[in-house]
């Protein structure tokens, strides 16, 4: 196959996709497996990929050291790279190595930490570059940013239409999730004046048996599957949580992120006699729903205490105001971007005894790469990842991280 025929073929190849892999340095690509799509990746006789697209988005890269060497190990024709996605990393500048790929036509750099508008000038040597994204960087605050940011012409956009259709098919599960959790939810909230959680509670009141926790949880699952998606933990992850609580038999559990109370009820049911659960929720309307569900299930404040407030504000006062000296088990189930800060607060206030278990939900979707990187590198945790899917969207891969704390030393 000559070079021209190869380029025509590789344009249609699926991308080499290393997104959401918590990749810290470029060399990690050689030991990571790329994501699989609807179509398998094709390889040359030497085992290298034939694609022209490399996706490294949503990782923790802060430089592109050894990028050229690693790409040469992965791609049969690295000089033909046409699409590089480096969005949502920690890059502070545009590495000159990118300017050596003269067939580059699409470069995504949005969601990084690029400070200077002058960095864009480096890309002027790329004759094929048609689409450049920089939004979400500090550079967009500079005067003249909008004039510098590249846009795609209608002709180029039409040329990319088959690829766009392919992406929509490949990520159709994410598109359905977006429709259910954002578009339909917003419409129903506007029409009813109630939130999804409040409508779910009304459904529970009319369909579940008071005092029967299992039936209440099943009713919430049915509501999420057949009425409105609830974004709750769901039965598959729930089984993992219940099993671990029963195995560890903690006398005191801390949950950050009560939401509608689904995981709270799971923990409360699995607690040993005399066990106590402290659960923290920052949103007052959601906390009100959770409080009603918890009491409807039959748990009083001696077993489940709900604290309303931001986790960062509550954690420093748990010992003095709520009598929590140490939590043998902690569930992080609120916003993944807050996990690392909250874990460090728990360490700083000596709220984790040696041997404590920390569970973190949604570490793969939407993902908590900095949290995972910290727990793997700090030397104070043994880590295990339970792979699951999202409730009602099993094709969207997620997971629960199980951490065992070895102590401050």
| Tens-place pLDDT, residues 368-381 | 999 999 999 999 99
Write out pLDDT tens, residues 284-302: 999 999 999 999 999 999 9
**pLDDT above 80 for 399:** yes
Residue 307: band (very low, low, confident or very high) from pLDDT cuts 50, 70, 90: very high
- Residue 121 half-sphere exposure toward CB, CA atoms < 13 A: 4
Write out pLDDT tens, residues 187-228: 999 999 999 999 999 999 999 999 999 999 999 999 999 999
* pLDDT the model gives residue 137: 85
Question: Of the given ranges (144-158, 265-279, 315-329), which has the lowest mean pLDDT?
Answer: 144-158
Within 10 Å of residue 155's Cβ, how many Cβ atoms? 9
Mean pLDDT of 303-316: 96
- CB of 237 within 8 A of CB of 361? yes
Strands (E), 195-301: 252-256, 276-281
Domain with CATH 3.80.10 in the chain: 3-170
The CATH code of the domain at 3-170 is 3.80.10
Domain with CATH 3.40.50.150 in the chain: 233-405
**pLDDT above 60 for 2:** no
* pLDDT the model gives residue 4: 44
**pLDDT above 90 for 95:** yes
Nearest to 262 by CA among 279, 249, 274, 243: 279
* pLDDT the model gives residue 140: 77
Cis geometry, peptide bond prior to residue 113 (ω within 30 degrees of 0): no
* pLDDT the model gives residue 154: 56
Tokens read off for 274? 């005399």
* pLDDT the model gives residue 21: 86
Residue 145: band (very low, low, confident or very high) from pLDDT cuts 50, 70, 90: low
* pLDDT the model gives residue 40: 84
Give the H/E segment covering residue 16.
strand 16-17
* pLDDT the model gives residue 135: 83
Nearest to 353 by CA among 329, 332, 326, 331: 326
Tokens read off for 151? 């846009």
DSSP label of 43: B
* Domain range 233-405, its CATH number among 3.40.50.740, 3.40.50.150, 1.10.540.10, 2.30.40.10: 3.40.50.150
Strands, sheet with 276-281, edge to edge from the N-terminal-most edge strand: 304-308, 276-281, 252-256, 329-332, 357-360, 393-405, 381-390
Strands 53-55 and 16-17: parallel
Nearest to 106 by CA among 86, 128, 83, 136: 83
């Amino acid at each position: 196959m000559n070079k021209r025929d190869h380029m025509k073929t590789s344009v249609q190849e699926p991308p080499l996709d290393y997104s959401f892999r918590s990749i810290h340095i470029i060399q990690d690509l050689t030991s990571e497996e790329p994501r699989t799509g609807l179509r398998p990746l094709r390889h040359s006789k030497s085992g290298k990929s034939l694609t022209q697209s490399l996706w490294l988005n949503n990782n923790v890269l802060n430089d592109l050291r050894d990028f050229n060497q690693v790409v040469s190990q992965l791609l049969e024709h690295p000089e033909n790279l046409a699409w590089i996605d480096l969005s949502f990393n920690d890059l502070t500048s545009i590495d000159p190595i990118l300017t050596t790929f003269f067939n580059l036509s699409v470069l995504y750099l949005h969601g990084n930490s690029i400070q200077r508008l002058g960095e864009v000038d480096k890309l002027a040597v790329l004759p094929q570059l048609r689409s450049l994204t920089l939004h979400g960087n500090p550079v967009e605050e500079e005067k003249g940013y909008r004039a510098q940011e590249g846009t795609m012409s209608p002709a180029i956009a039409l040329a990319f239409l088959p690829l766009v259709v392919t992406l929509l098919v490949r990520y159709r599960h994410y598109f359905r999730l977006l429709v259910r959790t954002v578009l339909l939810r917003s419409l129903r909230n506007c029409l009813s004046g109630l939130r999804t959680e409040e409508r779910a509670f009304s459904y529970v009141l009319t369909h579940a048996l008071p005092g029967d926790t299992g039936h209440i949880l099943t009713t919430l699952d049915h509501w999420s599957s057949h009425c409105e998606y609830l974004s709750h933990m769901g039965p598959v992850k729930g089984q993992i949580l219940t099993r671990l609580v029963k195995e560890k038999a903690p006398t005191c559990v801390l949950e950050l992120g009560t939401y509608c109370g689904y995981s709270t009820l799971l923990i409360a049911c699995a607690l040993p006699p005399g066990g106590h659960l402290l659960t923290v929720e920052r949103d007052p309307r959601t906390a009100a729903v959770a409080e009603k569900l918890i009491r409807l299930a039959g748990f009083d404040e001696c077993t489940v205490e709900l604290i309303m407030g931001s986790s960062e504000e509550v954690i420093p006062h748990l010992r003095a105001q709520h009598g929590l000296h140490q939590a043998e088990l902690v569930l992080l189930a609120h916003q993944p971007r807050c996990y690392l800060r909250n874990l460090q607060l728990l360490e700083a206030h000596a709220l984790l005894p040696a041997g404590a278990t920390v569970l973190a939900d949604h570490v793969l979707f939407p993902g908590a790469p900095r949290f995972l990187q910290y727990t793997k590198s700090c030397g104070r945790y043994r880590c295990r990842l339970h792979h699951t899917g999202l409730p009602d969207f099993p094709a969207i891969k997620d997971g629960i991280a199980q951490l065992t704390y070895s102590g401050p030393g």
